[in-house]
C-alpha cells in the first residue's frame, strides 16, 4: 500500500462525503479508492468512516486522522515544491472557482499565457455565481467578489472594485436620463439576487460615508452576472455593476454611466483558500498570478481576514 495515496484518497472521501465523488475528483475507479481507504484503516487499526447506503461520515478517530493527514499531505507537497525551481516543473491539478464576469473579462483572456508558462499544470475552472463549498467540493482556491468571508477559511484581500451605474442609450431615450435620486421614481432597475426567491436590494448609494438603499421597481430579476449586464444592454433597466465588468460596453457606447455621484459602495475582492499550514507551490503561483491580473482594476487593498 502506498500510504500517501491512501491518505489522499481518505482525505478526498472525507471532504466530499462520497466514495463516488472522491473517485471522480482523483481520476480513479471507485473500487480503487475504496480499497485504499480500507487498507489505511487496516494499517492504522481504526475505523475512520461510517458507511451507509446514503452517506459517508467521519468517525471520531477519522476526524483526528483527517486533520493530521491534511497536514502531512500539505507538507509532502511543500517538500516536493522546494526543489521545483523552474516554473515548467510545477505539476498537478488545480481546482478554482470564480464568478462568470471575472473569468470572462480577466482570467480567460490571459489564461493561455499562464498555462504555457506551466505546461504540466492541469486547471479545473468553475465559473458560477453560486457560492461553492470550498472544502466539500475540493477547490484549491476561489475568487469571491462581495459577500461575507466563510469562517474557517483564509481570505487574501485583493482590493475593492469600483461600482458604477449604467443604462443603455435605448433605455435612456425611452425613460430619460436620471439626474437625481428623485428621478429614479420614473425608472426601473434590473434586480440581481444570488438565488431566485431572495429579496432583491434596491438602488444602493453612499452619502456622507454611509450606505443607503432606495426601493425601486423592476420587471426583471436575474441570478447571473452575464444575464445582468445583457439585460441592461437590452434596455430592460438600470444596473449597478463593477466597472471592470462593463469596460468594453462603455468604450463602444453600448452602455452609458449615469448618476456618478450616487454609486454603490465598492465591492471587496478576496482569494479564499482552506486553512492549511502550508499551501502547495502550484496554488501559491496561481494565486500570485491571479492577484496580478486583478491589481489594475481594484482600489487600495484592505487587511487580510483570518
User: Which residue, chain included where needed, has cell 475528483?
Assistant: 25
User: What single-letter DSSP state applies at residue 261?
Assistant: T
User: Which residue, chain included where needed, has cell 464576469?
Assistant: 101
Can you state the percent helix, strand and coil of the chain, rounding each to 5? 40, 25, 35
Q: Buried (b) or exposed (e) across 75-84, using 16+ Cβ within 10 A?
A: eebbeebeee
The pLDDT tens digits of the residues spanning 168-227 come to 999 999 999 999 999 999 999 999 987 787 888 899 999 888 899 999 988 899 988 889
Q: Indicate the SS3 state at residue 223.
A: coil
Mention every residue, 6+ apart, whose C-beta is less than 8 A from residue 48.
10, 14, 37, 40, 41, 58, 59, 61, 62, 65, 66
**Contact (CB, 8 A) for 192 and 200:** yes
pTM, whole model, 2 decimals?
Answer: 0.68
Rounded to the nearest 5 degrees, what angle is found at the Cα of 275, between the Cα atoms of 124 and 100? 35
- String of DSSP letters for 159-172: EEE-EEEEE-HHHH
The pLDDT tens digits of the residues spanning 10-54 come to 999 998 888 998 898 888 899 999 999 999 999 999 999 998 877
Q: Indicate the SS3 state at residue 53.
A: coil
Dihedrals φ, ψ of 268, to 5°? -70, 145
Q: How many residues does the chain have?
A: 306
**Which of 96, 168, 87, 161 shows the shortest CA–CA distance to 126?**
96
Give residue 228's pLDDT: 93
**Contact (CB, 8 A) for 100 and 127:** yes
What is the chain's Cα-based Rg?
A: 23
Q: How many CB atoms within 10 Å of residue 243? A: 16
Domains identified in the chain and CATH numbers = 3-82 (1.10.10.10), 87-161+267-297 (3.40.190.10), 163-257 (3.40.190.290)
Give residue 301's pLDDT: 45
The pLDDT tens digits of the residues spanning 73-98 come to 877 766 766 555 455 577 778 889 99
The pLDDT tens digits of the residues spanning 261-303 come to 999 999 999 999 986 656 778 888 999 999 999 998 887 544 4
Q: Indicate the SS3 state at residue 153.
A: strand
Q: Indicate the SS3 state at residue 187.
A: coil
Amino acid at each position: 500500500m502506498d500510504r500517501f495515496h491512501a491518505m489522499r484518497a481518505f482525505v478526498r472521501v472525507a471532504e466530499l462525503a462520497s466514495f463516488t465523488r472522491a473517485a471522480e475528483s482523483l481520476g480513479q475507479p471507485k473500487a480503487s479508492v475504496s480499497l485504499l481507504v480500507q487498507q489505511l484503516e487496516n494499517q492504522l487499526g481504526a475505523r475512520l468512516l461510517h458507511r451507509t447506503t446514503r452517506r459517508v461520515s467521519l468517525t471520531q478517530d477519522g476526524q483526528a486522522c483527517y486533520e493530521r493527514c491534511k497536514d502531512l499531505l500539505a507538507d509532502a507537497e511543500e517538500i516536493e515544491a522546494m526543489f521545483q525551481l523552474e516554473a515548467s516543473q510545477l505539476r498537478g491539478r488545480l481546482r478554482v472557482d470564480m464568478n462568470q464576469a471575472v473569468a470572462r473579462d480577466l482570467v480567460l483572456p490571459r489564461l493561455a499565457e499562464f498555462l504555457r508558462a506551466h505546461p504540466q499544470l492541469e486547471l479545473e475552472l468553475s465559473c458560477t455565481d453560486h457560492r461553492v463549498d470550498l472544502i466539500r467540493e475540493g477547490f484549491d482556491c476561489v475568487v469571491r467578489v462581495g459577500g461575507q468571508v466563510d469562517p474557517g477559511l483564509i481570505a487574501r484581500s485583493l482590493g475593492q472594485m469600483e461600482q458604477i451605474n449604467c443604462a443603455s442609450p435605448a433605455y435612456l431615450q425611452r425613460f430619460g436620463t436620471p439626474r437625481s435620486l428623485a428621478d429614479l421614481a420614473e425608472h426601473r432597475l434590473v434586480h440581481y439576487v444570488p438565488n431566485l426567491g431572495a429579496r432583491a436590494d434596491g438602488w444602493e448609494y453612499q452619502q456622507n460615508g454611509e450606505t443607503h438603499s432606495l426601493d425601486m421597481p423592476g420587471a426583471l430579476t436575474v441570478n447571473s452576472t452575464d444575464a445582468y449586464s445583457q439585460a441592461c444592454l437590452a434596455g430592460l433597466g438600470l444596473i449597478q455593476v463593477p466597472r471592470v465588468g462593463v469596460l468594453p460596453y462603455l468604450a463602444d457606447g453600448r452602455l452609458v454611466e449615469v448618476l456618478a455621484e450616487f454609486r454603490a459602495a465598492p465591492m471587496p475582492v478576496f482569494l479564499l483558500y482552506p486553512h492549511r499550514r502550508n499551501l502547495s507551490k502550484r496554488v501559491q503561483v496561481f494565486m500570485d498570478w491571479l492577484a496580478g491580473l486583478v491589481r489594475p482594476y481594484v482600489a487600495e487593498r484592505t487587511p487580510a481576514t483570518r
